[in-house]
């Protein structure tokens, strides 16, 4: 993508700026849509309507709230560590934004096609923890600090089963490249890794149940990493007001919102790339049928976004279905169950790969 933009504008600086800004063109509209969707999903699950007055079925409500946040006064308490307090939201958002650089939206658009894409994503997502800890500490508020410490503990813990499951996929596929993993699953759903991969043979049927187990472990772990119910202990409103962002208002508060919903899509996209074909169509391409190759990248973008949004919807569904777990239950699930199961799953997939 960078090479194409560089040739188009004749300047590497302009091409680099546009390439860096393109994910923002996706993130901001997606966050506005996702906040509206969560309000409507929660409303319908509770047998009510949700926002209805601002725009058709309230679809302009989130846009109105967005502009309201931009205009709100930026209040900073007198006892905060102002330097770290001000920079923390942007570090949290930067950690989320950097992940989008390696996501393959289609075969024609990948921010940066890295051979070590999965490793890069695991590495840069750690910035979020730094920003959250910084926000909790700098707020000089005990509830914020509790929330930050909870968030750091659970993110660091659940990174382990996440990394182990990703390692098992890397071992099975032989690559760390997200675009290559997507390409390996071709354009039909039975070739997805959740169904054992594209190679028909004994290995496909042996590995299938362990791929399903790996998917479940990964999805549960990503829920904890993005602080979503039932693992929303860092923001537990009934205990910590709003957790690590209690003291924030205005644009800084909106940066945490952008990061949270951006993270929700990012982890959903990673799950879809690893197990559900990424940007590949489950039923073939209309562009192939019409001999219109230019149409295929747009179809791929649609399928990539649709799969990501579906898993975001499942996150919302779980939020309004499951109760919040206790801190000890949260850590027990990770250290006593998910990590041992993921290690056993890794070993079995490794043995099957050698067959």
Q: Which of the four pLDDT bands, split at 50, 70 and 90, describes residue 169?
A: very high
What's the rounded mean pLDDT across residues 52-62? 86
Q: Which residue has the tokens 């569904």?
A: 317
Share of the chain above pLDDT 70, in %: 94
- Identify the DSSP state of 180: H
Per-residue model confidence (pLDDT) at position 218? 94
What's the rounded mean pLDDT across residues 312-321? 90
Q: Which residue has the tokens 């846009």?
A: 63
Tens digits of residue pLDDT in 75-97: 777 778 888 888 888 888 888 88
Contact 158, 267 (CB under 8 A): no
Per-residue model confidence (pLDDT) at position 26? 83
Q: Which of the four pLDDT bands, split at 50, 70 and 90, describes residue 2?
A: low
Higher-pLDDT residue of 1, 245? 245
Tens digits of residue pLDDT in 214-272: 999 999 998 888 888 788 877 777 777 777 888 887 888 888 888 888 899 999 999 99
R_g over Cα of the chain: 21
Per-residue model confidence (pLDDT) at position 7? 56
Q: Per residue, what are the HEC states of 279-319?
A: CCCCECCHHHHCCCHHHHHHHHHHHHHHHHHHHHHHHHHHH
pTM for the model: 0.90
Cα-flanking dihedrals φ and ψ of residue 321, to 5°? -120, -40
CA-CA distance, 143 to 136, in Å (whole number)? 8
CA-CA distance, 77 to 326, in Å (whole number)? 30
Per-residue model confidence (pLDDT) at position 75? 76
Contact 92, 135 (CB under 8 A): yes
- Which tokens go with 223? 């829920």
Q: What angle do CA 155, 158, 160 make, to 5 degrees?
A: 120
CA-CA distance, 299 to 244, in Å (whole number)? 40
All residues at 6 or more sequence positions from 10 whose CB lies less than 8 Å from its CB, including other chains: none
CA-CA distance, 161 to 245, in Å (whole number)? 27
* Cα dihedral 137/138/142/147 (nearest 10): -50
Length reported for the chain: 355
Looking at the predicted structure, is the pLDDT value of residue 274 above 90? yes
Q: Which residue has the tokens 């199961």?
A: 341
Higher-pLDDT residue of 155, 310? 310
CA-CA distance, 111 to 123, in Å (whole number)? 17
- Which tokens go with 195? 């169904």
β partners of residue 188:
283
What's the rounded mean pLDDT across residues 37-52? 88
The distance from CA 138 to its chain's CA centroid, rounded to whole angstroms, is 26
- Which tokens go with 315? 């996150």
Tens digits of residue pLDDT in 23-34: 788 888 888 889
- Identify the DSSP state of 323: P
Contact 251, 69 (CB under 8 A): yes
Other Cβ atoms within 10 Å of 261 Cβ, number: 23
Per-residue model confidence (pLDDT) at position 288? 80
CA-CA distance, 65 to 298, in Å (whole number)? 31
Looking at the predicted structure, is the pLDDT value of residue 16 above 80? no
Cα-flanking dihedrals φ and ψ of residue 188, to 5°? -140, 140
* Cα dihedral 164/165/171/175 (nearest 10): -110
CA-CA distance, 165 to 211, in Å (whole number)? 9
Tens digits of residue pLDDT in 114-124: 788 888 988 88
Contact 227, 317 (CB under 8 A): no
Per-residue model confidence (pLDDT) at position 1? 57
CA-CA distance, 225 to 232, in Å (whole number)? 9
């Amino acid at each position: 993508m960078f090479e194409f933009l560089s040739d188009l504008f004749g300047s590497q600086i302009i091409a680099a700026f546009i390439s860096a800004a393109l994910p923002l063109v996706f993130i901001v509209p997606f966050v506005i849509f996702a906040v509206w969707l969560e309000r409507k999903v929660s409303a319908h699950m509770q047998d009510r309507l949700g926002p209805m007055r601002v725009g058709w079925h309230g679809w302009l409500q989130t846009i109105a709230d967005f502009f309201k946040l931009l205009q709100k006064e930026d209040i900073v308490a007198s006892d905060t560590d102002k330097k770290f307090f001000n920079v923390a939201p942007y570090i949290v958002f930067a950690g989320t934004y950097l992940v989008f650089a390696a996501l393959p939206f289609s075969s024609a658009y990948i921010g940066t096609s890295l051979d070590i894409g999965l490793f890069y994503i695991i590495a840069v997502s750690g910035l979020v923890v730094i920003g959250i800890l910084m926000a909790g500490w700098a707020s000089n508020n005990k509830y914020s600090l509790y929330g930050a410490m909870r968030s750091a503990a659970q993110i660091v813990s659940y990174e382990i089963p996440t990394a182990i499951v990703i390692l098992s996929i890397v071992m099975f596929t032989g690559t760390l490249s997200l675009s290559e993993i997507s390409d390996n699953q071709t354009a039909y759903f039975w070739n997805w890794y959740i169904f054992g991969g594209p190679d028909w043979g004994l290995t496909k049927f042996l590995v299938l149940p362990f791929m399903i187990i790996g998917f479940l472990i990964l999805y549960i772990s990503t829920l904890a990493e993005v602080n979503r119910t039932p693992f929303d202990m860092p923001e537990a409103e009934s205990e910590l007001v709003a957790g690590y962002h209690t003291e924030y208002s205005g644009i800084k508060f909106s940066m945490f919102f952008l990061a949270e919903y951006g993270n929700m899509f990012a982890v959903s996209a990673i799950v879809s790339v690893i197990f559900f074909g990424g940007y590949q169509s489950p039923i073939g391409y209309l562009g192939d049928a019409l001999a219109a190759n230019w149409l295929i990248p747009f179809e791929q973008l649609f399928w990539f976004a649709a799969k990501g949004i579906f898993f975001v919807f499942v996150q919302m569904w779980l939020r309004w279905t499951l109760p919040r777990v206790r801190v000890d239950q949260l850590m027990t699930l990770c250290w006593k169950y998910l990590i041992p199961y993921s290690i056993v799953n890794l070993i079995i997939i490794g043995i099957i790969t050698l067959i």
